[in-house]
C-alpha cells in the first residue's frame, strides 16, 4: 500500500544517463534534507548529456522518495519517453521547458518555492547587496513578474527573455530559479541564493541599519563567482561532497 513501484534501470540506460540520474536524484535528496521542498511540488530537471532528452521527478512522489530509477525521461515538450509506471505534472515542466529551449548551456534547471526566496522575491527591490552570499547571486540576477500559475504557454517567451544569460532568477511572489552547466553548479547557486535571502530577512527583521556593498565590489565578485562556483573549484569540488552527504542521508537514492 505504501511502497512505490520498484524498478532498476542501471543496466538499461547508458552510463552517462545513469550518472545524470544519480546526480539528479541526489539533488532531490539534498533539497529535501535542507527543507527546501514543497510536498510533491516544484521541480528540478536535467538534460541527459549528448541528447535532447531530460529527466524530472515523477508527479506524486516526495523529494526524499526520488531515486535514480524513478526519474522520468521526457522530451522538450514534456512527452514521456520512459517513465515506467510514473507520470509527470505537465504544468510543472512549463518553466523548465522554456529555459531548456533557449539555454543550451543549462544542463540543470532548479526551481523551488522556499519561504526566504518567495519573501525576497515579493519585495519591490528584490535581493539587496547585504551579504557575501548575495554577491554571488545579485550580479547575475533576473526577475520575472508573477502571471499566476505557470500553465500559459505564452508566458514561456517572457520567462526566456527575462532570464536571458543570467544564472539566477527570482520569480515575483512565487520563488526562485537557478541554472547551471551541471547539476552541482545549479545546486550551489541555489544554496547561495537561498542563504542570501535568509540573511536579508534576518537583517530586515532585526530593525538595525544595514550596510550595502558598493557596485564596484559587486562587479568584481561576479567575476570571482564564475571561478568559485563553476568548473574545477565549483560543482566539480563541492558536488562530490554533496553526493557523499546525500548517500549518508538516504543510500537508496542510487537505486
CA dihedral 125, 130, 133, 138 (to 10 degrees): 40
Between 222 and 84, where is the model more confident? 84
CATH number at residue 96: 3.40.225.10
Q: Which tens digits make up the pLDDT trace of 148-205?
A: 887 777 889 999 999 999 999 999 999 999 999 999 999 999 999 999 999 999 999 9
6 domain-assigned: no
Amino acid 143: pLDDT: 98
Give the residue carrying C-alpha cell 533576473.
142
229 domain-assigned: yes
Residue 118 clears pLDDT 70, i.e. is over it: yes
- For 154, the domain range is 15-248
255 domain-assigned: no
101 domain-assigned: yes
254 domain-assigned: no
Give the residue carrying C-alpha cell 526566456.
160
Amino acid 165: pLDDT: 94
Helix (H, G, I), strand (E, B) or coil at 167: coil
107 domain-assigned: yes
Helix (H, G, I), strand (E, B) or coil at 96: helix
Q: Which tens digits make up the pLDDT trace of 119-130?
A: 999 999 999 999
Structure confidence at residue 74 as a pLDDT band (50, 70, 90): very high
Amino acid 226: pLDDT: 62
181 domain-assigned: yes
With both helix axes pointing from N to C terminus, report the angle between 235-249 and 183-206 in degrees, rounded to the nearest 10. 80
Amino acid 105: pLDDT: 93
Across the chain, mean pLDDT equals: 90
Per-residue burial over 139-169, b if 16 or more Cβ lie within 10 Å, else e, is bbbbebeebeebeeeebbeebeeebeebbbb
Amino acid 227: pLDDT: 61
Q: Which tens digits make up the pLDDT trace of 216-242?
A: 888 887 666 666 555 555 567 889 999
Amino acid 223: pLDDT: 67
Total count of domains within the chain = 1
Amino acid 237: pLDDT: 80
- d(CA 58, CA 213) in angstroms, rounded, equals 42
Q: Is the pTM of this model over 0.95?
A: no
10 domain-assigned: no
Amino acid at each position: 500500500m505504501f511502497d512505490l513501484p520498484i524498478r532498476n534501470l542501471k543496466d538499461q540506460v547508458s552510463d552517462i544517463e545513469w550518472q545524470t540520474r544519480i546526480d539528479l536524484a541526489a539533488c532531490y535528496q539534498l533539497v529535501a534534507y535542507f527543507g527546501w521542498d514543497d510536498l510533491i511540488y516544484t521541480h528540478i530537471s536535467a538534460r541527459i548529456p549528448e541528447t535532447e532528452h531530460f529527466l524530472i521527478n515523477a508527479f506524486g512522489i516526495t523529494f526524499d522518495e526520488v531515486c535514480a530509477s524513478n526519474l522520468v525521461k521526457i522530451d522538450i515538450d514534456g512527452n514521456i519517453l520512459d517513465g515506467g509506471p510514473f507520470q509527470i505534472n505537465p504544468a510543472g515542466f512549463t518553466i523548465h521547458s522554456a529555459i531548456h529551449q533557449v539555454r543550451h548551456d543549462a544542463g540543470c534547471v532548479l526551481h523551488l518555492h522556499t519561504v526566504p526566496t518567495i519573501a525576497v522575491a515579493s519585495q519591490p527591490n528584490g535581493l539587496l547587496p547585504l551579504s557575501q552570499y548575495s554577491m554571488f547571486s545579485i550580479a547575475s540576477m533576473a526577475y520575472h513578474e508573477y502571471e499566476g500559475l505557470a500553465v500559459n504557454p505564452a508566458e514561456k517567451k517572457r520567462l526566456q527573455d527575462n532570464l536571458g544569460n543570467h544564472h539566477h532568477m527570482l520569480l515575483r511572489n512565487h520563488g526562485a530559479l537557478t541554472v547551471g552547466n551541471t547539476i552541482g553548479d545549479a545546486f550551489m547557486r541555489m544554496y547561495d541564493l537561498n542563504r542570501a535571502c535568509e540573511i536579508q530577512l534576518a537583517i530586515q527583521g532585526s530593525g538595525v541599519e544595514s550596510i550595502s556593498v558598493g557596485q564596484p565590489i559587486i562587479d568584481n565578485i561576479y567575476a570571482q563567482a564564475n571561478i568559485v562556483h563553476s568548473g574545477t573549484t565549483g560543482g566539480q569540488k563541492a558536488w562530490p561532497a554533496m553526493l557523499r552527504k546525500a548517500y549518508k542521508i538516504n543510500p537508496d537514492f542510487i537505486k
